[in-house]
Amino acid sequence: MCGIIGYLGKGNAIDIVLRGLKRLEYRGYDSAGVAFFNGGDFEIRRCKGKIRDLEALIQVSLNSNLAVGHTRWATHGVPADHNAHPHCSDSVVLVHNGIIENYLVLKEELTSLGYQFTSETDTEVIVHLIEHFHRDMPLEEAVREATGRLHGAFALVVVSRKTPDMMVGVRKDSPLVMGISEDGYFLASDVPAFLEWTRRVVFLEDSEMAVVTPDGYRIVTFDGREVHRSPTTVDWTASMADKGGYRHYMLKEIHEQPSSIANTLRGRIDLSRMAVNPGEFMLPDGLLTSINRVFIVACGTSWHAGLVGKYMIESLCRIPVEVDLASEFRYRRSLISRGDLFVVITQSGETADTLAAQREAKRQGAFTLSICNVIGSSSAREADAVFYLHSGPEIGVASTKAFTSQLVALYLFSLLMAEARGQIDSSLRRQMLQDVMGIPEKVEGVLKRESEIEEMARRYSNSKDFLYLGRGILYPVALEGALKLKEISYIHAEGYPAGEMKHGPIALIDEQMPTVFLVQAGELRRKVFSNIEEVTARGGRVIVFKSEDVRDPIPSAEHIFEVPRTNEFLEPVLMAVPLQLLAYYIGVRKGYDVDQPRNLAKSVTVE
């Protein structure tokens, strides 16, 4: 939930770390800090607020070869200068992402040994603990000893006044990657932090440490075993992680969807056969025909994608699908077995609950498939098979382009499984693949009508509550529309299956409250029309997002936004886009920081 970075090399370490922190600010943004070696000692600057507040405290022109930085999302202790990282003891300085579960016990122990605490953070126990061991042993060993005492999740970058030409990175259940450039070494929570300087990376595994000096690096496990791992080259570029002229990352990422969806599709369809390339999901031969059940587990927006996936897979493949929230699944005595396929959906690949659920499923013998965006992330590395979204870095805290790529990935997966299980004839399969190949252009068409949504946002931005209703495959899209709105505009919004309206939410309707209806063609639309009538009969305000295929007049709606015709399984993609724009423009009108909404973090790497 926090972002950490360390740099050791010939470049200007202060400038590099500050720039890296800006790339990591999506992970947490209530406080920030850096520590840099000034040739004689480490200087620390830290404060509550954003990176720009921190910059005001630092002279970037200072020369330094070694610096560490942190951008915070508070877990223990309010956002305040004294709780901001880096934390330091006599000789040790460090930054931390994660949560130390046994910090109270350790704090008591260290206090009795004479260590004084100046913050309310759990992190401060780590720094004193390392200091304690470092009195008699070199930094690497001291870090190893200390990590052996920590329970919880932690990624660390540690430096010492005694050896100011070394940094030690530690990874345990929180992400840490190393970047290697001509001029130096980086340790960071995420690749975009150093993409400006290098694309050569080494992904650390759990329970590993990286010991970096000007002469090179070593990777060692917590029990001291040397690990040899060659760097890989990621295909992201620095400009992919820029705002590219847009006012916000979120808007840029919404607009990227024609290309991000095209990237998800690229190479996945065998055009000569008009079939999904089986190799793309990396599944062993026979798996799709032998499984009895599919589990899909995820959090937040990725969970909504999973719910859409259930409709796709059950309809097209005729196999039962269970969709669960990872935070529920991991603590439920779930009945999962070897005959089940366990699909996790995660943009970041680092969501703590999703990873825990994935590990639990693996432990119980299920085959795990990760549908993931971040290459080399924990979920991707630990899964038996991975399908990468290739939608490029998603920086805005609200997930947008990853969601539509997840839907496309699930669509391809459903078609692959339907074919393997003999549930789809070749002409329908061909047609459905043609349909998905046409989606980027249709999304482009929706985006061209952005001004209609801006106008809608103007009209409704003062509303206090919103209701989003949809049926069938559009029900999870209603959930997603409501989630986007509450994340970005802090307006209370609820998503519901339209058929449930009369079982409770109808009580909320009054002259002030807008209800957003999502309508697709088919018999069920008439039932949704009845819901619309019921809302207007109570003076409620109605906004309709509908497919071009729905031709019925809807006189009682204040606004109707039409998305282009496609097949029913792809309508969620086209409906999601205007809902993202609506949330975005309402958030912007209200003057909020839509890229970094309050209390949220991009990657929820703690429980």
Residues with active-site annotation: 2, 602
* Residue 406 or 414 having the CB closest to ligand M6R: 406
Residue 380 found at the interface with ligand M6R (CB under 6 A): no
**Rounded alpha-carbon distances, angstroms, from residue 262 to 30, 257, 267, 404, 442:** 35, 8, 10, 11, 12
What residues between 476 and 515 interact with ligand M6R by CB under 6 A? 487
Question: Radius of gyration (Cα) for the chain, nearest Å?
Answer: 25
260 binds ligand M6R (CB under 6 A): no
Stretch near ligand M6R under the rule CB under 6 A, chosen from 175-183, 280-288, 396-404, 588-596? 396-404
Q: Which of 83, 147, 257, 354 binds ligand M6R (CB under 6 A)?
A: 354
CB of 450 vs ligand M6R, minimal distance in Å: 20
Dihedral sign of CA atoms 154, 358, 373, 494 in order: negative
524 binds ligand M6R (CB under 6 A): no
301 lines the binding site for ligand M6R (CB under 6 A): yes
Residue 160 near ligand M6R by CB under 6 A: no
Q: For ligand M6R, which is the closer residue by CB, 124 or 595?
A: 595
Q: Which is nearer to ligand M6R, 383 or 398 (CB)?
A: 398
Task: Provide the 3-class DSSP secondary structure of residue 587.
Answer: helix
Query: Min. distance of Cβ 402 from ligand M6R in angstroms?
Result: 7
Classify residue 323 as exposed, middle or buried by CB count within 10 Å of its CB (0-12, 13-18, 19+).
buried
Between 516 and 604, name the residue whose CB sits nearer to ligand M6R: 604
| Residues 422-441, interacting with ligand M6R (CB under 6 A) | none
Instruction: Provide the terminal-to-terminal Cα distance of the chain, rounded to the nearest Å.
Output: 10
> From the CB of 99, what's the least distance to ligand M6R, in Å?
16
The nearer residue to ligand M6R, 380 or 604, going by C-beta atoms, is: 604
Contact region with ligand M6R (CB under 6 A), list: 2-10, 297-305, 360-368, 516-524: 297-305
Stretch in the footprint of ligand M6R (CB under 6 A) among 166-174, 265-273, 345-353, 521-529: 345-353
CB of 85 to ligand M6R, least distance (A): 22
> What part of residues 82-121 is at the interface with ligand M6R (CB under 6 A)?
none
Q: Is residue 399 close enough to count as binding ligand M6R by CB under 6 A?
A: yes
Give me the sign of the Cα torsion angle 400, 32, 21, 104.
Answer: negative
* Count of residues touching ligand M6R (by CB under 6 A): 16
600 binds ligand M6R (CB under 6 A): yes
Read off the tokens for 68: 């560490």
Task: Taking the CA atoms of 485, 490, 496 and 498 in sequence, report the sign of the dihedral they define.
Answer: negative
Closest approach, Cβ 282 to ligand M6R, in A, equals 20
- What distance lies between CA 226 and its chain's CA centroid? 31
User: Is there binding between residue 75 and ligand M6R (CB under 6 A)?
Assistant: no
Distances (CA, A) of 512 to 150, 368, 464, 466, 542: 52, 46, 8, 9, 11
Candidate segments 90-98, 451-459, 463-471, 596-604, binder of ligand M6R by CB under 6 A: 596-604
Nearest position to ligand M6R, beta carbon: 300
Amino acid in position 469: L
Three state DSSP letters for 274-321: CEECHHHHCCCCCHHHHCCEEEEEECHHHHHHHHHHHHHHHHHHCCCE
Give Cα 488 to chain centroid, integer Å: 15
Closer to ligand M6R by CB, 328 or 534: give it: 328
Rule CB under 6 A: is residue 174 a binding residue for ligand M6R? no
Smallest gap from Cβ 160 to ligand M6R, in A, equals 34
Question: Considering beta carbons, is residue 84 or 407 the nearer one to ligand M6R?
Answer: 407
Q: Is the peptide bond before 284 cis (omega within 30 degrees of 0)?
A: no
User: Considering only residues 553-582, where is the footprint of ligand M6R by CB under 6 A?
Assistant: none
**Residue from 75, 347, 489, 515 in contact with ligand M6R (CB under 6 A):** 347
DSSP state string for 135-185: TTS-HHHHHHHHHTT--EEEEEEEEETTEEEEEEEEEESS--EEEE-SSEE
- Identify whether the C-beta of residue 544 lies closer than 8 Å to the C-beta of residue 557: yes
125 binds ligand M6R (CB under 6 A): no
Q: Quick check: helix, strand or coil at residue 516? A: strand
Binding of ligand M6R by 596 (CB under 6 A):
no
Pick 345 or 518: Cβ nearer ligand M6R:
345
Q: Which residues in 448-467 contact ligand M6R (CB under 6 A)?
A: none
Are the CB atoms for 317 and 345 separated by under 8 Å? no
Distance, in Å, from the CA atom of 133 to the CA atom of 143, rounded to the nearest integer, reads: 8
Residues forming beta bridges with residue 208, ordered by sequence position = 171, 221
Residue 129 or 357: the one with the smaller Cβ distance to ligand M6R is 357
Residue-wise burial string across 450-462, b where 16 or more C-beta atoms lie within 10 A, e elsewhere:
bebbbebbeebbe
Q: Which residues contact 268 (CB under 8 A, 6 or more apart)?
A: 276, 277, 280, 412
358 binding ligand M6R? (CB under 6 A): no
Contact call for residue 317 and ligand M6R (CB under 6 A): no
DSSP, collapsed to helix, strand or coil, labels residue 53 as helix
Least distance (Å) between residue 558 CB and ligand M6R = 27
- Site membership for ligand M6R, residue 398 (CB under 6 A): yes
Interface with ligand M6R, residue 348, by CB under 6 A: yes
CB of 306 to ligand M6R, least distance (A): 10
| Alpha carbon distance 263, 409 (integer Å) | 11
Asked whether position 299 contacts ligand M6R by CB under 6 A, the answer is yes
Which CB atom, from 354 or from 596, has the smaller least distance to ligand M6R?
354
Contact 166, 8 (CB under 8 A): yes
Q: Is 356 in the site for ligand M6R (CB under 6 A)?
A: no
Closest distance between ligand M6R and the C-beta of residue 354, in Å? 5
Interface residues with ligand M6R (CB under 6 A) are 299-302, 346-348, 351, 354, 397-399, 487, 600, 603-604
